[in-house]
A and B are shown apart, each in its own frame.
Chain A
């Protein structure tokens, strides 16, 4: 038998057993099933107010603190009850959901966008770039969040762009630190050296090879940051520094319902539940996306 024949036989034996590298079903379906409820929430929040199915917006002081329909004393006119100003909780939940979802998503993006980029540069290029950035990160993390928020809001007033500025300024450092640490590990991996050996440019290595290998970290940061943004906003609203009336978010609803907990728990409970469900779904979606992104984690 010639060497070539022998080789062709052995290499056949070595070939991967899995047929074709296809995206397996589970990853696709879990992304689908987790994206679905989020889409439903988004649809409800964005479409329902337009349909006219909801009880009317506005205050009605004759019907304050009315309990939800499933409790005694409640009516289906106000399925989730009314708040201390007689506003329908469901209507408020739906209309303020838009703002909340936007705060969550944009708030996460403004923090992780710069944070990841800065951390990536520090971790990949090391040297003086890393030193300067690390000092900035340390300085940022040493400043109490509330101090920065107060300083900016008292100076610039309370508005959405200012809220995003606060979220970006307080969120980037943690993102940068985590990204830097992960980048330091990825840049030492042999395939990075291999890429240099084939003459790949630094920019290409950083953005095409290092960045995708940070996806796990970025998704984890992103999903956490959505939750953080919503919670930070509710904390600021509680202090009267976040979303100001007549605008409302789930955070500000939660904040305004806190002092009513003993008499009308539903005012705070439903926005709290909505925040929990949203953050949980975003986290689960992040996990599913991650599994979908990494071929090694997909079911073979």
Chain B
């Protein structure tokens, strides 16, 4: 598997009024093409910070102290370096937690897709936008694409909205997609569908997927490899089954024990 993303020794600090707060500490993580890497951990463990640092969507008071992130061999993040502007929306797509809030409520789905396409495909014609929009929605397993294009976000169901959001992330054919807790706001059956959709997208398009979640079962379904985070550090990583079946670290074992069971 060829390497797509290389995160090495990444350390990130937030400057707060009462002092500095380390958000990420010496994080190493690789994502290959056609690979799904899950990042799991409890709230506040640094999962979202890690995901957002890849696209440079960090708050103003946050700075990179050490390490780097490379995408397809090109360094995009390092101390004092931020070249994420040129990969955002083109080489990297991002899906957020709650699609009902990640779409502009005043714009139809068509306008959302058109905006991204116009921004990144120079001189694209109206027909091409329409064709690509329908194509990408069909790729998202949406059968009545035309009708969805004409809908406002609030007129769609949660699952459909999330698929539109995924469509927005992949419409420019990125090589990496980052999904930040994107199944959290969905019910269990819809979650399964979204996970299936991601799996097929990764297999069909050969993209790399960074799947951030706190749901270990979902991660075990979808991910090839899993990285467990705690307090800004990656405490354990490896093939999904290995990490979940034979956790080496205490923290991972505790996380696994925290999953509710029927008994």
What residues make up the interface of A, taking CB atoms closer than 8 Å to B?
3-4, 7-8, 10-12, 14-16, 18, 20-21, 127, 189-191, 193-200, 208-209, 212-213, 215, 293-296, 300
Given A12-B144, A14-B160, also A213-B93 (CB < 8 A): no
> In whole angstroms, what is the CA distance A215 to B172 when docked?
31
Q: Could you list 25 A-B pairs, sorted by A, with CB under 8 Å? A: A10-B193, A11-B163, A14-B159, A15-B143, A15-B147, A15-B148, A16-B160, A21-B155, A190-B98, A190-B102, A193-B102, A194-B102, A197-B88, A197-B94, A198-B119, A198-B168, A198-B172, A199-B88, A200-B89, A200-B115, A212-B106, A213-B105, A215-B106, A294-B105, A295-B152
In the complex, are the beta carbons of B160 and A15 less than 8 A apart?
yes
Bin chain B's interface residue count: 35 or more
In the complex, the number of residue pairs spanning A and B with C-beta atoms less than 8 Å apart equals 111
Contact residue among A16, A198, A215 (Cβ-Cβ distance under 8 Å from B156): A16
In the complex, are the beta carbons of B94 and A194 less than 8 A apart?
yes
Whether B120 is near chain A, meaning CB under 8 Å from some CB there, is yes
> In whole angstroms, what is the CA distance A43 to B105 when docked?
37
In the complex, are the beta carbons of A199 and B120 less than 8 A apart?
yes
> B179 to nearest A CB, angstroms?
12
Given A7-B141, A191-B102, A294-B106, also A198-B89 (CB < 8 A): yes
In the complex, are the beta carbons of A16 and B115 less than 8 A apart?
no
Using CB atoms, name the residue of chain A closest to B101.
A190
In the complex, are the beta carbons of B155 and A3 less than 8 A apart?
no
- C-beta contact mask, B176-198 vs A, less than 8 Å → 1, else 0? 00000000000000000100100
> In whole angstroms, what is the CA distance A4 to B151 when docked?
24
- Of B101, B155, B169, chain A has the most CB atoms within 10 Å of the CB of B155
> B7 to nearest A CB, angstroms?
18
In the complex, are the beta carbons of B88 and A198 less than 8 A apart?
yes
Contact residue among B88, B154, B157 (Cβ-Cβ distance under 8 Å from A196): B88
> In whole angstroms, what is the CA distance A250 to B213 when docked?
64
Contact residue among A190, A295, A296 (Cβ-Cβ distance under 8 Å from B96): A190
In the complex, are the beta carbons of B142 and A194 less than 8 A apart?
no
- C-beta contact mask, B222-247 vs A, less than 8 Å → 1, else 0? 00000000000000000000000000
In the complex, are the beta carbons of B97 and A190 less than 8 A apart?
yes
Q: Which residues of the partner chain B approach A20 to less than 8 Å between Cβ atoms? A: 147, 150
Given A11-B160, A191-B103, also A197-B154 (CB < 8 A): no
> In whole angstroms, what is the CA distance A160 to B151 when docked?
47
